[in-house]
Amino acid sequence: MTTNDDWVQTLGAGALLGIAGGAIALLLFLIMYLRVHAFLALVVISLLTAFAARIPADSVVPTLIGGFGTTLGSVALLVGLGAILGRLVEVSGGAQSLTDALIRRFGERRAPLALGVSSLVFGFPIFFDAGLVVMLPIVFAVARRLGGGVLRYGLPAAGAFSVMHVFVPPHPGPVAATELLGADVGLVIAFGLLIAIPTWYVTSYLFGLSVGKQLVLPVPTLLSGGPQAEDREDPPSPGTVVALLLLPLVMIFTNTGLDAARAAGWVDGEATWFQIARALGSTPVALLVAVLVASFVLGQRKEVIEKLVDSALAPVCAVILITGAGGMFGAVLRAGGIGDALSDGLADLGLPVFVAGFVIAAALRVAQGSATVALTTAAGLVQPVVQAGGFSAVELAAIVLALAAGSVIASHVNDSGFWLVGNLMGMDVRTTLMTWTVMETTISLMGFGLAGVLFLLG
């Protein structure tokens, strides 16, 4: 539940943008200088922003709870189940076994590249949050084994999931933009990959190596539930660990394929078997199945599993709550009309549609946080111009990718992903701004540049 249907925002665009800017500045002041816990600071600022934006008083609390609950619905189960899976793999010695195999295969110097390429592959069918949570325990194990801090290994992996999520269908943002603008989904996938891979290499892999030399941060224990377990004499084979990690990814990918088959008319979307298969392939169910299978395959005793689950869940509670509060703040900004005010003002600038789409998507991203919301909203705003423009199939795909590039820029405190990445990697707000925010911005700018080349060639 959000605001009343009859309520109309009467504040002008300037006032709304001033409120948003002031709220963000005050939030950073509370967290970075007064050392208020991020969860409490986000709740307080969300409440103050709601009243400042003149959201009806009887809708303020439902708006806060709605934004918080919606974010938790997509994050809490993923992080919780992912933490349990990571702890099982780590305690069994599986993480160390896979780490040793990666090092033998690729060498110590190329370990960040191996992790990043693996994340690109996993990131094709898997949403950002789910893929990151599954991959990070292995990233942390490699970082512990080789040293050099977490950012050297974590940023290339996180950047890989980010570029795939924003540029390549079947992820929701590019799918929605492709449908709204009438682009060919096959071309968007092909060109999205052409843009995503070099963009990742420059902005995430090379950037991660550079930042990792300057900021050597300790490896967190969040997703392993505590300090690293002692080496096991009989660890599972690397193949077993890979199979356990691939199990939820294969289930989710199958789910994506079923949805594509339904959209193409190949299967009956109302059939009972289809509905059951779709439910079993949902991300939370897939991770649950992986946890249950790992409990059996890795041979943990019942009493040990209970302790492992407790030790895995306790450290991630703060991450889950902070991420939910970040979603709450973004929901308040959307409900108060701040994103709409910004997009309305930018829509009349008279820029070429390719540039205007990028600028609108970027502004919406900065204003309200969600990349998917920014991309789909911007696509809806430029849809009439695009439909009347007579663009070629290649140009349409390039416009979709330009909007996608804008939607990923400048991840900051109103983006739940900002808090998820920062807290999982053990970074404070300042460090997250210096690393994750900068990386997302370079992804946006390079992606837009490559989309521009594609548009000119089309």
The pLDDT tens digits along the chain (458 residues) read 456 667 877 788 788 888 888 887 888 788 878 888 888 988 999 899 999 998 999 889 999 999 888 878 767 777 778 778 777 877 777 767 776 787 788 888 899 999 998 888 778 766 787 778 878 888 988 898 888 999 999 999 999 999 998 998 767 788 778 878 888 877 888 899 999 999 999 999 999 999 999 999 999 876 654 444 445 567 788 888 888 878 887 887 787 788 778 877 888 888 889 899 888 888 788 889 988 898 888 765 555 677 777 777 776 787 678 778 877 887 887 788 876 776 666 656 667 888 988 998 898 888 878 787 788 778 877 887 787 788 898 999 999 999 999 999 999 988 888 998 999 999 999 999 999 999 999 999 999 999 999 999 97
* Distance separating alpha carbons of residues 262 and 256, to the nearest angstrom: 10
Domain count, the chain: 3
Clarify whether residues 206 and 342 are in a common domain: no
Tell me whether residue 186 is in a domain: no
Clarify whether residues 59 and 87 are in a common domain: no
Range of the domain at 28: 13-64
Tell me whether residue 222 is in a domain: no
Clarify whether residues 258 and 381 are in a common domain: no
Tell me whether residue 3 is in a domain: no
**23 φ/ψ angles, rounded to the nearest 5 degrees:** -65, -45
Tell me whether residue 135 is in a domain: yes
* Distance separating alpha carbons of residues 112 and 115, to the nearest angstrom: 5
Helix axes 128-146, 151-167, angle to 10 degrees: 160
Tell me whether residue 223 is in a domain: no
* Distance separating alpha carbons of residues 19 and 335, to the nearest angstrom: 13
Clarify whether residues 108 and 240 are in a common domain: yes
Clarify whether residues 44 and 120 are in a common domain: no
Side chain identity at 264, as an amino acid letter?
Answer: A
Distances, alpha carbon 256 to alpha carbons 124, 265, 282, 337, in Å: 11, 14, 9, 33
Clarify whether residues 354 and 290 are in a common domain: no
Peptide bond connecting 170 to the previous residue in cis, omega within 30 degrees of 0: yes
Tell me whether residue 8 is in a domain: no
Tell me whether residue 185 is in a domain: no
Clarify whether residues 262 and 155 are in a common domain: yes
* Burial label, 265 (beta-carbon count in 10 A; 0-12, 13-18, 19+): exposed
Tell me whether residue 1 is in a domain: no
Confirm if 435 and 208 have CB atoms less than 8 A apart: no
Clarify whether residues 73 and 142 are in a common domain: yes
Clarify whether residues 435 and 298 are in a common domain: no
| Helix residue ranges, H only, 281-428 | 283-297, 302-335, 338-347, 353-368, 371-387, 393-406, 416-424
Clarify whether residues 52 and 77 are in a common domain: no
Angle 122-163-454 from CA coordinates, rounded to 5° = 125
* Domain boundary pick from 258, 285, 316: 316
* Domain boundary pick from 283, 316, 349: 316
Confirm if 401 and 192 have CB atoms less than 8 A apart: yes
* Distance separating alpha carbons of residues 330 and 13, to the nearest angstrom: 17
* Distance separating alpha carbons of residues 156 and 409, to the nearest angstrom: 17
Clarify whether residues 341 and 275 are in a common domain: no
Confirm if 344 and 13 have CB atoms less than 8 A apart: yes
Clarify whether residues 299 and 334 are in a common domain: no
pTM for this prediction: 0.73
DSSP for 158-218, written as a single string? HHHHHHHHHHSTTSHHHHHHHHHHT--HHHHHHHHHHHHHHHHIIIIIIHHHHHHHH--PP
